[in-house]
Structure 1
């Protein structure tokens, strides 16, 4: 049996959780010694990354010919590759099963078993988030795209029970195809010590999108800044679409207490996490929500918005606040968490529970069982 991992969805620069799921999964396959039946289809710019994670795996590279940085242009290009190029690869290499690391799987049903993970259907199920409405043309394109993907797929992977229920609600015709498999987490705990949390930092990650709701965290911190000696550290890129975050900080003279790191490596991120007093995720929507899980595994006190996915994925093991967009509710919980004495043994226990549940090797084995079933 030949299993193809369609990884053309990986981007040139790290795009966050979606890429990390694919790379963690690949590492799990490699560490479980099950790559002999597998090959990876990817654009040429991803070859070195794939080789470094899974040495020896068969790689089928495709030359990347989309030079536009516009979202819809890349989307159209992926549609073309999956419709024209991938069927030829399936035939040439006698692929029996293919796993698509993302939505937009092409316009034709492949002549092999097809498994797809759409990474949520937010564009259809939550057209308005953080007071931002997805343009009608994008909504229609995504609605049709998901329908075609789900129609042509043999199995649809949902990242959580909430994600599974949402797909079934909006695409009931394909509900029997959905299989829930949680996302793989890969974290080394060997050097994690409780006493290493020495800085006076509150940290948050994932600033790139409106629905991450970082503006509520900034406003909440503004309310408590004179009541504590902690600073707020915001990790990640700040693209133009959320430039208002920096504008708010500047206009309200908060630059001395709120810092933006820009993009940093995974290792640098983990080091900042490990020395921080509190991790906060005020998101309005998640399909899974890796960073909160990672924070708990790293034994960091964690505070998240009490939306359905966050509560499911964190298993009720951290602190929560609601409503998600209420800066006063968040400010109140921030102060409570900063004053709280967290028990190290309790943090250890929670860390182990989530590390075992989402361990990348265990999740990779669950995927493999799906592939060979």
Structure 2
């Protein structure tokens, strides 16, 4: 990294693909470790107290009725525990679990094959359910409500729909973008739980538990430093814990303390606010190259060498939540917090970019 910011290619773009906070390059071994750290029961699940209490009530009522619970929809940003909660639901009900994902179901026949093989009481977990193909969604409507699917036999005028009865089962859907779910599908879920970002205190409890499972000796200060930079996300916290452990082992230490956490997180470009290379690249592009904006998403993505979807779904949610970026009708603008974080002076002293009237804001059209 250069002294004035992220490394740039010859065309001025930023190499911001290697991110320790999103696990884009996570190995199979790391995924296995992450799976081993998942809580197995609802009582072990940290944080999300309201969702946990509501879900516990739904599951206990279903157990007392000796019937499958209503279908469950879990929404929220990545890494907050939606998959873990789905597995907990299966464990609490003592029922088998079938796992699939929205992108894997692109035809109604794909979904029909899965549904027809379910047993009574089984939990069907559909990750990223908002990305299912429309024909499959329409088939799922009927299956969730009436426990029935219509299998089409033949083609053309001679095609015949044969109804196939299904045993009662429970769909658990997970989505990072609940607004993209069509209303008919969303309305068929009897319980909807939204997961929020975790507090630093909750992340500390998670890291203490993870350190114990991984047999990592850690100090309270070291745990706090990792938790405070984890963006309110357990997945990121656990990943950073393993990277700090690696640093400590390589440097001849056998304990994750405050000094080890500081050195390792600096090595992996995670600053005190939890911003990493891509986050800072976005802020630098906004402030240094576009004068604070507003600038369109596509233009901003080109400036940092990423796809627009990556900037919008990976970097932007945290930057907007923490007040570094403001989304306006004409594009993304840098707030005063962003300028101050980069050690720069806003171009309009006393007036934040996001407070200018839309008609007075220079910049590019959003798209």
User: TM-score of the superposition, structure 2-length normalised?
Assistant: 0.30
User: Which structure dedicates a bigger proportion of its chain to strand?
Assistant: 1
User: TM-score of the superposition, structure 1-length normalised?
Assistant: 0.30
